[in-house]
Amino acid sequence: MEAGPGPPPPTPEREPLSLAEIRDVWPLLTPGDRIQAFLLLPRDDAEDFFFSVAARDQAEIVLGMPGREQRSWVRLLPPDDAADLIQAAAVEKRDALLALLDEPTRREVTALLAYSEDNAGGLMNPRYIRLRPEMTVDEAISYVRKQMREQPRTIYYGYVLDSEQRLLGVVSFRELFTATVRTRVAEIMTRQVTTIPEHMDQEAVSLKFGQSHLVALPVVDVEGHMKGIVTVDDVVDVVREEATEDMQKVGGVEALDAPYLQIDMRRMIRKRVGWLCVLFLGEMLTASAMGFFEKEIARAVVLALFIPLIISSGGNSGSQATTLVIRAMALGEVRLRDWWVVVRREFIAGIGLGVVLAAIGFLRIVTWEGLFHTYGPQYLSIAATVSCSLVGVVLWGTLAGSMLPFILRRFGFDPASASAPFVATLVDVSGLVIYFTVAATILRGKLL
Amino acid sequence: MEAGPGPPPPTPEREPLSLAEIRDVWPLLTPGDRIQAFLLLPRDDAEDFFFSVAARDQAEIVLGMPGREQRSWVRLLPPDDAADLIQAAAVEKRDALLALLDEPTRREVTALLAYSEDNAGGLMNPRYIRLRPEMTVDEAISYVRKQMREQPRTIYYGYVLDSEQRLLGVVSFRELFTATVRTRVAEIMTRQVTTIPEHMDQEAVSLKFGQSHLVALPVVDVEGHMKGIVTVDDVVDVVREEATEDMQKVGGVEALDAPYLQIDMRRMIRKRVGWLCVLFLGEMLTASAMGFFEKEIARAVVLALFIPLIISSGGNSGSQATTLVIRAMALGEVRLRDWWVVVRREFIAGIGLGVVLAAIGFLRIVTWEGLFHTYGPQYLSIAATVSCSLVGVVLWGTLAGSMLPFILRRFGFDPASASAPFVATLVDVSGLVIYFTVAATILRGKLL
């Protein structure tokens, strides 16, 4: 590409970037460099890139542009995406961004901004194809064409409304297109429509899509008035986002709400330090619990050797159970009232897993004694103590890990807050008590 | 609904079920009861339900039906879903299911079955709208209508092919529909098309959709021949499924590949016991490590009290780091070559988090000593030992947890196998060594 006539470009030594190149370096650039890089893209690629990035990045790009160019970029977006962009910008910039929109879009976007970002209203697009039941297919097709010429809109279904904007039925474009021209819309429309209430949580919306296998669902208010449509491509982002949040919570981190490489270091530490401190304070109870058993430990140091082994086995089995239950809840496979089924299953699983570990632990101690005479004459009692404790601790870990998400959900918290490290900490403290109680019972008069 | 004349239904005491009711009880039913329940649905609801369940359930339903009804159900499905159903059935049933299809569909499904279930070919639908570049818009629209009358197909885009089935461009239905009738397809088609190679892994496919924000993408072979389309509604399932697998792996469970309440108990235990045993064997090293320090523990039992606190802090910070990195990798935010950026970030985070915990630990010991005289005259040295160990262990946990996914991926393993419990176990063993080394240095000549 040769440089055209006129004033030289601001960074004359740089070649135009390609789409692949900017995707590659984007996460590693500073905000200032990002704008520079973006401005080096040919217009076509720049638009593709602009559409492909998250709302936060779109806001950054628009706000970093020279003032006279901002408008053309914001106006590229459909109202739902424009609303997301504005919501991703700092509060004090939002009015300026809204002012860049044309009047009808500004009204639509303002209405969308009233919804919380993570419910159906925040996901929906207020532009859709409207039809009337008494139209013929022929009239309907011309009307669709007219609506699309006025404003681009999603085309998969036509929504049949009465004069008060209440949803009567849905016609797929495929049906409209293959029916004979004189048929009335009312004859071919589906009346049993899956709808989404406007304030439904986005996670529930994504489950609705999973059940219906449709590409777009209508959003209605309590009186059945049509408010907009949610399309499945927005749901992909929701599913991904919710899974990320759940996974981070299960890993014991607050949801980052920004890509890993882009989040500011101080914010990253803040997101992690909270849970880490809570867990640390919880884990301090292990020091207190062990303080109670200090005399037993002094008398039989061999008991201390198995502490990490035993408590971590409880923690690991608890992590497994809590992860499985949280994910099953998020997928709608397990509901609150299924708790008793889960208890029964986890009871069996806990016993089964505990017995396997107990057997391995028993063998290990007996073998080591045979080979190295590590544990002295009471080795069988020690092996029995470790094995019995393992069954108890693993069973307890499994039950605690599986029930905690139910308890949290029952009291209105997010079940994913039952992070694996949290369950592990809970089980560590109680695991110590189980271990030393078993030891006191089995080893009394022998080592203790 | 009144009972019609003729022979009485098999379970005359039962009322017809509703869609909501069957969704509710489905996960809790045995396979035999499921078929009974399904047969109680009115045909319309039965079809809706059939479309909404997973391929595994569809296979169960079809195989449980009386032979003469099987055909009408399998033929309801488009070829990609029929292929999924057949793949979800036991190997010995597959030929019988294939035989239920009509001849052209059977050929399409057989071609699809050659692809692995989890790549683009396994996701794609071989039916799509074909156009030729030299057609006028008017001709194109009639041709679309003709194709749709022959077989239903997804309608969002028309794919423009040359005479050898190579993809030349894409026309959105919206463009086709709003252009003037005499325009040639070649004039309005987009030539720069995002395509998916037929053997691309489904996780990569889902990231492609994330970048392109389109509802359907064409699948092509290495020579650019069009093979089919992947639609975004199938991608939603992929995203959900991959997130579930990753989360289960991070929680230390093998991917269950069945809903929690439906999986057979023995299979569930098998999926969990493997990792639990590996972790248990790994954790046995803590017993060995502590064996080395038995004399130090006997001399200063107070050291034992802080063992769970210190090693679990390392484990928790490691879980956080590994979860964040695994998820960022799955989302494509972090790539293999970014490892050095991650090391630098996690080094800073690890120091920061370690210092915070060290400060809390120090305060705790000093306070308890002031209040209860728990730790004796050497309490400051003990506090220093605990604090220094915490910084070391947390830093080590953070680095180990963040690097393990990179190492696994580098050697071709799934980074999600770096489960949080695995990292915790790794850090437990090394944490003990750090703790006792610090203790030996600080407490030599005092308590040791």
- Going by pLDDT thresholds of 50, 70 and 90, the confidence category of residue B152 is low
Q: Give the C-alpha separation, B443 to B429, whole Å.
A: 21
Categorize the per-residue pLDDT at B5 as very low, low, confident or very high, splitting at 50, 70 and 90.
very low
* d(CA B66, nearest CA chain A) in Å: 26
CATH topology assigned to domain A129-238? CBS-domain (3.10.580)
Question: Look-up: residue for tokens 């195989």?
Answer: B63
A80-107 average pLDDT score:
89
Q: Count Cβ atoms within 10 A of the Cβ of residue B433 and give its class: 0-12 exposed, 13-18 middle, 19 or more buried.
A: middle
Strand order across the A167-172 sheet: A129-131, A157-161, A167-172
Mean residue pLDDT of chain A comes to 86
Picking from B127, B302, B305, B344 by the largest number of A CB atoms within 10 A of its own CB, the best residue to mutate is B305
pLDDT (tens digit, 9 = 90+) per residue, A145-162? 888 777 766 677 889 999
Residue range A13-69, pLDDT digits in tens: 556 778 888 887 887 788 788 888 898 888 888 888 898 888 888 999 999 888 888
Extract the tokens encoding A404. 């905690």
Residue of A nearest to B398 (CA): A272
Task: Classify residue B344 by burial, with Cβ atoms within 10 Å: 0-12, 13-18, 19+.
Answer: exposed
User: Is 1.10.357.20 the CATH number for B265-443?
Assistant: yes
Q: Rounded to a whole number, what is the distance in Å from the CA of A7 to chain B's nearest CA?
A: 31
The C-alpha of A4 sits at a distance from chain B's nearest C-alpha, in angstroms, of 25
The mean predicted confidence, pLDDT, of chain B is: 86
| Percent of chain A scoring above 70 in pLDDT | 96
Q: CATH number for the B19-118 domain, one of 3.90.1150.10, 1.25.60.10, 3.40.50.970, 3.30.1700.10? A: 1.25.60.10
User: Mean of the pLDDT values across residues A404-431?
Assistant: 87
Put simply, the answer to whether A156 touches B155 (Cβ < 8 Å) is yes
From chain A, pick out residues whose CB is under 8 angstroms from the CB of B232: 215, 232-233, 236
| Separation CA B208–CA B196 (nearest Å) | 8
Residue type, B129: I
DSSP A9: P
Option in B28, B251, B334 nearest A324 (CB) = B251
Calpha distance A205→A202 (Å, rounded): 5
| Domain B129-250 falls under CATH 3.10.580.10 | yes
Beta-carbon contacts of residue B110 (< 8 Å; ≥ 6 apart) = B98
Question: Counting Cβ atoms within 10 Å, is residue A380 exposed (0-12), middle (13-18) or buried (19+)?
Answer: middle
The position carrying tokens 């700092």 is A90
Domain regions of chain A by residue span: 19-115, 129-238, 265-443
Predicted confidence at residue A80, as pLDDT, reads: 86
> pLDDT, tens digit, for every residue of B196-208?
999 999 888 988 8
Residue A216 has pLDDT above 70, yes or no: yes
CA B378 to chain centre: 52
Of A178, A290, A297, the CB nearest to B149: A178
What confidence score (pLDDT) does residue B9 get? 47
pLDDT of residue B14: 57
Domain boundaries A19-115, corresponding CATH code: 1.25.60.10
pLDDT band at A232, cuts 50/70/90? confident
> A412 in helix, strand or coil?
coil
Q: What is the pLDDT of residue B263?
A: 84
Q: Which helix (H) or strand (E) holds B369?
A: helix B339-372
CA B272/CA B277 separation, integer angstroms: 9
> To which residue do tokens 């459909």 refer?
A78
Is residue A246 scored above 60 in pLDDT?
yes
User: Distance, in angstroms, between B7 CA and closest chain A CA?
Assistant: 31
Does the CB of A435 have a partner CB in chain B at under 8 Å? no
State the nearest Cα–Cα gap between B186 and chain A, in angstroms. 19
Amino acid at B299: R
Among the partner-chain residues B155, B280, B302, the one whose CB lies closest to the CB of A313 is: B280
Q: What is the pLDDT of residues A272-289, one digit of tens each?
A: 888 888 888 888 888 888
C-alpha atoms less than 13 angstroms from C-alpha of B348 in its C-beta half-sphere: 12
Q: How confident is the model at residue B8 (pLDDT cuts 50, 70, 90)?
A: very low
Q: Tell me the C-alpha distance between B332 and A27, whole Å.
A: 11
| Whether ipTM exceeds 0.90 | no
Residue A346 has pLDDT above 80, yes or no: yes
- Of the partner residues B215, B243, B316, the one whose CB lies closest to the CB of residue A421: B316
Beta-sheet strands, E only, within B179-317 = 196-197, 216-220, 226-231
Strand order across the A216-220 sheet: A196-197, A216-220, A226-231
B388 or B247: which leads in pLDDT: B388
pLDDT at B79: 87
From A323, which residue of chain B is nearest by alpha-carbon distance? Answer: B251
B155 CB neighbours in chain A (<8 A) are 156, 173-174, 177
Q: Do A265 and B349 touch (CB under 8 A)?
A: yes
Residue A139: its pLDDT value, please? Answer: 86
Length of chain B: 448
Give me the mean pLDDT over the A309-326 stretch.
91
Using one digit for the tens of pLDDT, what is the confidence trace for A101-129? 998 889 889 888 888 878 888 888 888 88
Residues listed for chain A: 448
- pLDDT attached to residue A14: 57
Report percent pLDDT > 90 for chain B. 24
Q: Which residue has the tokens 């915990």?
A: B357
Is the pLDDT assigned to residue A3 strictly greater than 50?
A: no
**Cβ-defined contact of B312 to A428 (cutoff 8 Å):** yes
Lowest average pLDDT, out of B8-17, B53-62, B271-280, goes to: B8-17
Give the mutation candidate from A261, A316, A402, A433 for the B interface (greatest B CB count, under 10 A).
A316
